[in-house]
Amino acid sequence: MKIKLLPWVAIAGALTLTGCGGSDGLLGEDKDVDMMEPETGVEDPADRPRPPENEPTMTTGEEFLLDVADNPVFLRGVALAYYQDTAQMIQAIEPIAATGANAVRLMITSDVTADQLDGALSTIASNNMVAVVSLTDDGSALHCQEDPNAIIDAVNTLWLDKWIPVLAQDRYQGRMIINIADGWGPMGVFNASSLGYQEYVDTYKALIRRFREAGFKLPLMIDGANCGQDFNAFLVGRGGELLAADSEQNLIFAADGDGQRWDSADKIISANTLLAQEGVPFVMNAFAGSETGDFPVNQSDFMAQSVGDTALTVDASWASSEDGVGYLNAFGETLDLTGGATSLDVFIDRRYLEFMRVAPGSSNYAPNGTTGIAIYLMDADGNRLRLGMSLAKELRENTWNKMRFDVPAEIDPANLMNGATEFDQTAVTHVGVEILANGKADAAEGEIKFDNLNVFPGVPPMFTSEFNTDDDSEQWMVDGADSWVADGSLQALPTDGQVNYQMAAWNGDAIGQIDFSKTLNVTARIFLPEEYATDHAGMWMNAFGQFGEGWSWNSVSVGAAQLVPGEWAELKYTMNFNETVEPPSDIYIAQAFGLQVGGITTPKSEPILIDSFVIEDPSARPTKIVTDTQYKATFSSGLNGFQNAGWDGDQVELANVDGELVATVPAGDSGAVNKADVNSVPEINFGGNLTVKARLFLPETFAGSDFWIQFFFQSGSWQHFSVGAVDMEAIDYGEWNEVEFEITDEDYPEDFARTLSPQMFGFQYGDTVAGEFKLDDIEIIGDKVVDDLQPIYEQGFDTAASVEGLEVDFTLGALDAGSMVAAKSLGWHVVPFGWTATTWYDASALTITEDVLGELLTERGEEVVNGPHGITATSLPVIFE
């Protein structure tokens, strides 16, 4: 993997460092001239022990830690709080080894003596485990702190002075990793594009060089910022910058899995994907226990993902903008996919998104990539049907996207491929993935990855009318129009201003197929001729039902705006007569139901066409509601990326005061505050309903004024969307107020780019009173209903054979089958990683045993040790000699 380093990476300030043999500055003569070409280390003049020059150590590649025999090492162990009671804790090492663990994260503080450290390392070595020696403290200087002087002092006085007689011993060089500091680094940034990590990077670069100058060649482990949780510190080339500063090229990046950035499997996968691009191995130094903290993580998610997951990688040699390829996978049996669905995970290189300025001279960029990714099916007769396509500009860059397409009830001829004229949904034999250049730019290239190609069974509709036989109305009657069935449609030429489509019990038994005791979804595919355009604005529609011996009338209004003159449209509505019929028992006596279309002027020369009525029971399809906090700003430290959007000439001044966002404004100001890095928050998803919440404090001086405030988004294509104006009459001035806004599908503006990351999120205000107002706990919550069907076919691309078995179905443009066979390979979806669980012996809720000897495992400990992805199942021995 080649590391891409951005130009600004080469701009760095010098860091100084005191140390044995140093000069007046903190760094002495060891200033950073060119961080991408580190200076050769100089011999430390101090009279202190040095590791043997040629003693083998563990090393690192782009993705993995390697033992002295160059075998990949995946750490599986626990963190041992050795510093708490060294005499007692050393007794835990053998029980840890007895679980099959291959590593111990040995937590030490400045109170641990060299002899105590030597005893622990010797015991770990004798039990054939890797020692990850990690410096921590009580949080006063290193852990969750960002003062560079403290970590510099710790390296000079502890690592390279107090403990170096032990650390430099030859017997430990191939068995040890030095974790320089537990969770040191800037707090509250969590923004890959921020400049707030510069001091962190500069400090660690200097410390890396100090260890190398002292003769250490073994792996150095660097914790993420913000108590170890903030992996963004390694992104956007900073990982490459740290690696370039290491003459041994032997680094490991580490994170602590705690908090809202780690509280779902998807977030773990996203972090893993981003970190893999830095070309340095990644481990979880710790992960918190399930059901603890404000954003509880699931320890089983970390362990499940740590074993890794492979994917199909396609790296095409594009030759023209008309190129394309279809890869086909056989089911092995014929499947009926009527009403079914497909899904696919897709990872696409950033270059395919083709970011362009939104306007000449603008500093804002939006994706314009046209490369298409589609899923298609093949039936038993070789006919192909494209289910749907996503363009690169609709996908998120350098992360995994999930595509999902339903198998349509009615086939649109435009989606039939390769000259097919029909498609049999009841006899499907293959599923395929199609990649189309689709007019893309020549520079749009790179890897595209696919995984989890799943096919889901259909839930057949409760009732369907398709009008496939001429002159067969399938028991439908039409009033107010001349009607007939031809060319696959029920056709009605209005003779009156209202057309009634109905099915009645006296006309046959078809109505008996419908269970009106349930809430039902109806989809009618209707063509309204262009001739009706002048009527369209005044047209109205009702769904109706008549029930019981008294033929009680019930109706539901249907939005006529769904019809489009001159085009086919899918009219969707819900029939909930089960909630309105009185007495309720009458719902079981259905006399008639139908659809009324009114507001039509006559005469007309062209008929209204209906080619299908489909009635579905949504309760028949298993679903689940997914609700998640997609983003939350608590302002525990800093501004969390919020800044003046510049709309008011930079008059508003922002500050974090006591963990709250304080906006100081002059009288009459109108402007906006924007979370400028919101497009780097991959969790924000406009696919379903959203809730925006915040706490707002307005001083009493604002009461009675014209002040107003509202929240807003701007989409990935820069459409503006005001999501809620605060009701100023409901505000309690001088107190904190909870404000909340619901966003439903109907609220999004037309053409709002719901598949892209937002460009802006924040709040607007106007007509201010001179003074201050405050906000806190700004939160975006997503809530959507998703299918919970289990797939009937799964392709996880988990073996080389699964990639080899994927056939090249067709090629387009200048591509040929041979080159596209060569273009596919087995790659990583999730790169496997090591972990050391928190914690072996501790007084906290995270303890995994009831006693130091590990004889009594807690429920957590049972999963960590004996779970399906725990130590016993996944730990492999390490070669040390």
Residues listed for the chain: 881
How confident is the model at residue 680, as a pLDDT?
61
Residue pair 223/181 in contact by the 8 Å Cβ criterion? yes
Question: What are the tens digits of pLDDT across the range 311-341?
Answer: 999 999 999 999 999 999 999 999 999 889 9
- Average pLDDT for residues 451-477, to the nearest whole number? 93
Question: What are the tens digits of pLDDT across the range 106-137?
Answer: 999 999 999 999 999 999 999 999 999 999 99
Query: Angle at the Cα of 639 (from 637 to 644), degrees rounded to 5?
Result: 170
Using CB atoms within 10 Å of the CB of residue 414, give its burial: 0 to 12 exposed, 13 to 18 middle, 19+ buried: exposed
Residue entry with tokens 């696409």: 348
What is the DSSP track for 634-660?
--SSS-TTEEE-STTSS--EEEEETTE
Half-sphere CA count of 153, side-chain side, radius 13 A: 7
Q: Tell me the two tokens of residue 776.
A: 């806190």
Q: How confident is the model at residue 619 (pLDDT cuts 50, 70, 90)?
A: confident
Nearest CA among 234, 218, 226 for reference residue 178? 218
What distance in Å separates the CA atoms of residue 551 and residue 692, rounded to the nearest whole number? Answer: 46
Long-range contact pairs involving 745-750 (C-beta distance under 8 Å, separation at least 24) = 745/688, 745/689, 747/723, 748/686, 748/721, 749/719, 749/720, 749/721
Other CB atoms within 10 A of residue 335 CB: 22
Residue pair 451/311 in contact by the 8 Å Cβ criterion? yes
Question: What are the tens digits of pLDDT across the range 486-503?
Answer: 999 999 999 999 999 999
Q: How confident is the model at residue 296 (pLDDT cuts 50, 70, 90)?
A: confident
How confident is the model at residue 107, as a pLDDT?
96
What distance in Å separates the CA atoms of residue 797 and residue 311, rounded to the nearest whole number? Answer: 5
Q: Which residues are bridge partners to 706 per DSSP?
A: none
Helix (H, G, I), strand (E, B) or coil at 105: strand
Please check the confidence at residue 76 and state whether its pLDDT lies above 80: yes
Q: How confident is the model at residue 40 (pLDDT cuts 50, 70, 90)?
A: very low
How confident is the model at residue 839, as a pLDDT?
63
How confident is the model at residue 754, as a pLDDT?
85
- Average pLDDT for residues 240-249, to the nearest whole number? 96
Nearest CA among 471, 470, 474, 494 for reference residue 482? 494
How confident is the model at residue 308, as a pLDDT?
95
How confident is the model at residue 67, as a pLDDT?
96
Question: What are the tens digits of pLDDT across the range 166-201?
Answer: 999 999 999 999 999 999 999 988 888 788 999 999
Residue pair 530/537 in contact by the 8 Å Cβ criterion? no
Please check the confidence at residue 12 and state whether its pLDDT lies above 80: no
Please check the confidence at residue 379 and state whether its pLDDT lies above 80: yes
Query: Angle at the Cα of 407 (from 403 to 413), degrees rounded to 5?
Result: 110
Query: What is the identity of the amino acid at 616?
Result: E
How confident is the model at residue 844, as a pLDDT?
63
Residue pair 534/600 in contact by the 8 Å Cβ criterion? no
Please check the confidence at residue 842 and state whether its pLDDT lies above 90: no
Q: Tell me the two tokens of residue 372.
A: 């298409």
Nearest CA among 144, 139, 142, 172 for reference residue 155? 142
How confident is the model at residue 22, as a pLDDT?
30
How confident is the model at residue 34, as a pLDDT?
35
What distance in Å separates the CA atoms of residue 197 and residue 391, rounded to the nearest whole number? Answer: 34
- Average pLDDT for residues 729-743, to the nearest whole number? 90
Residue pair 25/48 in contact by the 8 Å Cβ criterion? no
Q: State phi, psi for 171 to the nearest 5 degrees.
A: -70, -15
Please check the confidence at residue 679 and state whether its pLDDT lies above 50: yes
DSSP state letter for 867: S
Query: Residue 761 is inside which H or E element, if any?
Result: strand 760-766
What distance in Å separates the CA atoms of residue 229 and residue 240, rounded to the nearest whole number? Answer: 19
Say what percent of the chain tops pLDDT 90.
70
Task: Read off the pTM.
Answer: 0.69
Question: What are the tens digits of pLDDT across the range 756-814?
Answer: 778 899 999 999 999 999 999 899 988 655 567 789 999 999 999 999 999 999 999 99
Residue entry with tokens 């603890």: 292
Q: How confident is the model at residue 42 (pLDDT cuts 50, 70, 90)?
A: very low
Q: Which of 362-366, 444-448, 670-674 has the lowest mean pLDDT?
A: 362-366
- Average pLDDT for residues 851-868, to the nearest whole number? 86
Residue pair 367/396 in contact by the 8 Å Cβ criterion? no
Cα–Cα distance list, 724 to 63, 683, 739, 764 (Å): 45, 21, 9, 10
Characterize 829-843 residue by residue with b for buried, 16 or more Cβ atoms within 10 angstroms of its Cβ, and e for exposed. Answer: bbbbbbbbbbbbbbe
Look at the alpha carbons of 721, 756, 343, 683 in this order and tell me if their dihedral is positive or negative.
negative
Q: In what order do the strands lie in the sheet containing 760-766?
A: 642-644, 671-675, 760-766, 708-714, 720-725
Instruction: Check residues 840 and 260 and name the one with the higher pLDDT.
Output: 260
Question: Which residues are CB-neighbours of 20 under 8 A, at least 6 positions away?
Answer: 44, 45, 46, 48, 156, 160, 161
How confident is the model at residue 364, as a pLDDT?
66
What distance in Å separates the CA atoms of residue 15 and residue 315, rounded to the nearest whole number? Answer: 41
How confident is the model at residue 351, as a pLDDT?
94
